[in-house]
Chains A and B, each alone.
Chain A
Amino acid sequence: MRVCVTMESSGRKTTGVLDPTMYTASMTAAVVLIVLAACADLCDGVTVVDVYRLVQYDLAGVPFGSRIAYLNHHAASSLFSPGSGGGAGIGGNSVTADLSRTVLILPLRELNLALIREYIGQRKILGGLLFLLPSIFNPENIDYEDGADQNPAKDVSWDILVELEQLLIRANIPFPVYFAFEQDNINAVLVDVKRNDVSGQPATATTGGYKLVVAAPEPRKLGSPTITNIQGWLPGLKADGDSNQLPTIAIVASYDTFGASPALSVGSDSNGSGIIALLEIARLFSILYSNPRMRGRYNLLFGLTSGGPYNYNGTRKWLHRFDQRLRESIEYAICLNNIGSSGNELWVHVSKPPDNAYVKQMFEGISSVADELGLNVGLKHKKINISNSRVAWEHEQFSRLRVTAATLSELSFAPDLLERTGGLSDNRHVIDESSLVQRIKLIAESLARHIYSLDGKNINVFADNSSLAVNPSYVRSWLDLLSTTPRVAPFLSRNDPLIMALTKELTEHTVDVNVQHEVLDGLFTFYDSTSSKLHIYQVASVTFDLLLLLALGSYFIILFSFLVITTRGLDDLISIFRRPPSRKVKSA
């Protein structure tokens, strides 16, 4: 049926009304009518856009995020109705239009964050919010245009996005909030909507405009979300005659993310960089350990943990599964976090005091290698507070069980809960590949020097251009994969392809790979419905149809009179309207 086929998101519609092939189609009208009546809903809409919903979660029973998914309202583009002046304040001022049945389309570039903050803070009701993000934030948009102008730190929209994200995930918003990326079709719609707004006609049911519809079902709770930890071993070589258990060095990274939009939280830096570093180090050391004569006197334990944004819940459960002896045999653990963006500064965060012998030894090992590579590594000490449930760094979970641990990160201060956990602004373009490669080299080299007791000797284990060099293509291919895979833990099933891929990769390089499934602690509850399709309809108003009805009525009256006059004569027309009175006269 030609009518259905021609409705597409290209925006131009031509219905072949006069097309001769309509003869053919109409001949089966009886059967087709029934079928078409059923599929009438499917053929509607001028523009269809992918949209992603703001996260909806409960923290200890307190609701956060956007609580509604269904959207069906008219579109507007600003918080004010025209004529009220651009700078009018909101508080108590009734000049702003009634927006409770309007969806605001707000592009990120023109966002007035203070206004949004006020609006959300005062818990005003909107029909909905649709944020338009520049396409550079689209996880599917990974092209390699490396250049100074791509440096995210210099772009203001990055900062605005980070702030917006933090504002949205900590607010309880009783209307739907969606994110979409700028495309030609939706940009054209926005231009039209702005023009309508300027001309002083807010869109309602009687004045036409655009209608945005997201037919999403009611969000349901995700019951018992699973978090999955993956571990692998590289066993060392015992010296002959030595019956003691070998010490273990643990390398840990959490792999899941959290952000304002779970379908877009790819977390390239938090913690994609950590995952890649862990996998590359596992690969390099598996090459070293494959030769029995090259095995060091240390076991290496690699752990990919989940539940990172939620106070490193997964790490805690993973550690509790170990028995006491194993935990005591861990000499130290290095946790990797946020090591991918450009810059020369790195920090080693510890909970044990810096003058502790182990901490000193570990830090000196790292800094000596760092000096050779031209990196600056600093030491930061943050005491842990057992009574406070907030766990800011992964190593704190180790420290609570009295295992020496440190976190290597480019962040200099501890992030708050749900901060820097891989949100909307954390995508491929934040990563500097050469920086990441250099830091992987730093970690691997300092580990190797410690394992093989090479301190002081002038040996470069993972030298460039050797067979043990850090492989940039490996880094890049994993980066591309992780930058297009959202990894919010409650939405990852037990057999999610990502988890299978990580397990397979670890199996290739390590032995005794163990996948452990845990249940996320009941403090966090999540809801589904994270992405949908938005349909944008251009609608005419009721007044238009009323006018049309009026016009048709007058047309018919004129047509009727014309036909009566020409075929029966004017007297007949008059007699149609005069008959009742003449009968009355007669009877009287």
Chain B
Amino acid sequence: MTVFHFFNCAILTFGPHAVYYAATPLSEYDTLGTSIKAAIVYLVTALVKLVCLATFLKVSESDSFDPYQELLKALIGFVDVAGLYFALTQLTHRNISQNHKFQAVGLGWAFADSVLHRLAPLWVGARGLEFTWDYILQGLEANANLILSLSLAALGSLMWLRKNKPKTLIPIIYTCAGIVATMPSILSYLRQGLGWQLPKVIGFELFTSLAMASISWQLFAICQRPSS
């Protein structure tokens, strides 16, 4: 029965990535290579972040919210953005349109993130006899993360790949990108500083990810109109 639960949580965590790949035109254009390259870039980025965290962060005794530490973590979080920039611009992709490029990169990014952060706890915890809601919440968080990664990749591609953007939209694009990039710090502030419970935090994350996704979709559509 508990392996069943593990299976359920696993497909909740990793299923949406597969569904996304199958449902959108990504599968038709065979963009798997791009996704895999993005995943590798994510791994390298995570390693760099780890080294930075280990070097600059001191281990705090209490579980409270330390603004200075969080600021440092947020700054290190921007390494993420740099990694995404590298994945979007520097890697050589096959001839695929921008539309599909950001989707493939975002997908690979989110998949690597899920595997790295969620596979180990899932394997260890969900197979045991004890039942908790944690793993289902973790799966929902993986879904939210996928949406956020796609939004960030979309905004990133708007920022760095598209040359002709309406001038009025540029600040909006940058602010949205900033919000999405600092999402992890916001969430940790909510959990530790304000003391929100896990379901509440994940609900908030889902809501904001959907909001951000719709905003970036709109932005992308607007920016696409002049060129199409």
Asked if A pairs with B, the answer is yes
Selected from B1, B20, B123, B134, the residue in CB contact (under 8 A) with A545 is B1
Assess whether B121 is in contact with A15, with CB atoms less than 8 Å apart.
Answer: yes
Give Cα A560–Cα B24 distance, bound, in whole angstroms: 8
Give Cα A567–Cα B47 distance, bound, in whole angstroms: 34
Instruction: Indicate whether A46 sits within 8 Å of B130 (C-beta atoms), given known contacts A27-B46, A545-B4, A552-B11.
Output: yes
B54 within 8 A of A: yes
Selected from B22, B46, B129, B187, the residue in CB contact (under 8 A) with A18 is B187
Binds B, one of A33-41, A163-171, A340-348, A416-424: A33-41
Give Cα A22–Cα B114 distance, bound, in whole angstroms: 12
B5 within 8 A of A: yes
B116 within 8 A of A: yes
Give Cα A582–Cα B4 distance, bound, in whole angstroms: 39
Chain B proximity mask over A562-576: 1 for CB below 8 Å, otherwise 0: 111001100000000
Within 8 A of B (CB), among A537-568: 537-542, 545, 548-549, 552, 556, 559-564, 567-568
Chain A proximity mask over B20-44: 1 for CB below 8 Å, otherwise 0: 1011110000000000000000000
Chain A residues, CB < 8 A from B46: 23, 27
**Which one of A24, A37, A548 has the greatest number of beta carbons of chain B within 10 Å?**
A548
Selected from B1, B23, B125, the residue in CB contact (under 8 A) with A559 is B23
Minimum CB–CB distance for A508 against chain B, Å: 51
A287 within 8 A of B: no
Minimum CB–CB distance for B113 against chain A, Å: 10
Assess whether A542 is in contact with B73, with CB atoms less than 8 Å apart.
Answer: no
B188 within 8 A of A: yes
Instruction: Indicate whether A563 sits within 8 Å of B121 (C-beta atoms), given known contacts A17-B137, A40-B127.
Output: no
Minimum CB–CB distance for B23 against chain A, Å: 4
Selected from B24, B123, B124, B201, the residue in CB contact (under 8 A) with A567 is B24
Minimum CB–CB distance for B61 against chain A, Å: 13
Assess whether B11 is in contact with A27, with CB atoms less than 8 Å apart.
Answer: no
Instruction: Indicate whether A32 sits within 8 Å of B120 (C-beta atoms), given known contacts A23-B50, A545-B5, A559-B23.
Output: yes
Give Cα A218–Cα B148 distance, bound, in whole angstroms: 54
Chain A residues, CB < 8 A from B53: 20, 23-24
Give Cα A527–Cα B128 distance, bound, in whole angstroms: 32
Number of interface residues of B (CB under 8 A): 46
Chain A residues, CB < 8 A from B136: 548
Give Cα A541–Cα B12 distance, bound, in whole angstroms: 19
Assess whether A540 is in contact with B5, with CB atoms less than 8 Å apart.
Answer: yes
Assess whether A552 is in contact with B23, with CB atoms less than 8 Å apart.
Answer: no
Chain A residues, CB < 8 A from B123: 33, 36-37, 40
**Which one of B11, B127, B129, B131 has the greatest number of beta carbons of chain A within 10 Å?**
B129
A26 within 8 A of B: yes
Selected from A17, A37, A205, A537, the residue in CB contact (under 8 A) with B130 is A537
How would you classify the secondary structure of chain B's contact residues: helix, strand, loop or mixed?
helix
Assess whether A556 is in contact with B19, with CB atoms less than 8 Å apart.
Answer: yes
A213 within 8 A of B: yes
Number of interface residues of A (CB under 8 A): 51
Selected from B15, B73, B120, B132, the residue in CB contact (under 8 A) with A13 is B132
Assess whether B12 is in contact with A563, with CB atoms less than 8 Å apart.
Answer: no
Give Cα A22–Cα B119 distance, bound, in whole angstroms: 12
Chain B residues, CB < 8 A from A540: 5, 131
Instruction: Indicate whether A20 sits within 8 Å of B184 (C-beta atoms), given known contacts A29-B119, A542-B4, A563-B20.
Output: yes
Within 8 A of A (CB), among B2-18: 4-5, 8, 11-12, 15-16
B117 within 8 A of A: yes
Assess whether A17 is in contact with B141, with CB atoms less than 8 Å apart.
Answer: yes
Give Cα A244–Cα B75 distance, bound, in whole angstroms: 101
**Which one of A17, A208, A538, A548 has the greatest number of beta carbons of chain B within 10 Å?**
A17
**Which one of B22, B47, B128 has the greatest number of beta carbons of chain A within 10 Å?**
B128
Minimum CB–CB distance for A89 against chain B, Å: 36
Selected from A1, A20, A25, A548, the residue in CB contact (under 8 A) with B188 is A20
Instruction: Indicate whether A552 sits within 8 Å of B120 (C-beta atoms), given known contacts A43-B128, A44-B129, A45-B130.
Output: no
A487 within 8 A of B: no
Assess whether B23 is in contact with A26, with CB atoms less than 8 Å apart.
Answer: no
Assess whether B130 is in contact with A27, with CB atoms less than 8 Å apart.
Answer: no
Selected from A17, A24, A45, the residue in CB contact (under 8 A) with B54 is A24
Within 8 A of A (CB), among B180-215: 184, 187-188, 191, 198, 201
Chain B residues, CB < 8 A from A27: 46-47, 50, 116
A319 within 8 A of B: no
Assess whether A549 is in contact with B8, with CB atoms less than 8 Å apart.
Answer: yes
**Which one of B23, B117, B187 has the greatest number of beta carbons of chain A within 10 Å?**
B23
Assess whether B124 is in contact with A3, with CB atoms less than 8 Å apart.
Answer: yes
Selected from B1, B15, B138, B187, the residue in CB contact (under 8 A) with A556 is B15
Chain B residues, CB < 8 A from A538: 130-131
Chain A proximity mask over B38-65: 1 for CB below 8 Å, otherwise 0: 0000000011011001100000000000
A441 within 8 A of B: no
**Which one of B119, B120, B136 has the greatest number of beta carbons of chain A within 10 Å?**
B120
Which 7 pairs of residues, A with B, have the shortest CB-CB distance? A563-B23, A540-B131, A44-B128, A537-B129, A567-B24, A560-B23, A36-B124
Known contacts A25-B120, A539-B1; 9 further A-B pairs (Cβ under 8 A): A17-B141, A26-B120, A37-B124, A44-B128, A44-B129, A539-B130, A559-B19, A563-B24, A567-B25
A residues near B (Cβ < 8 Å) are 1, 3-4, 7, 13-15, 17-20, 22-27, 29, 32-33, 36-37, 40-41, 43-46, 205, 208, 211, 213, 537-542, 545, 548-549, 552, 556, 559-564, 567-568
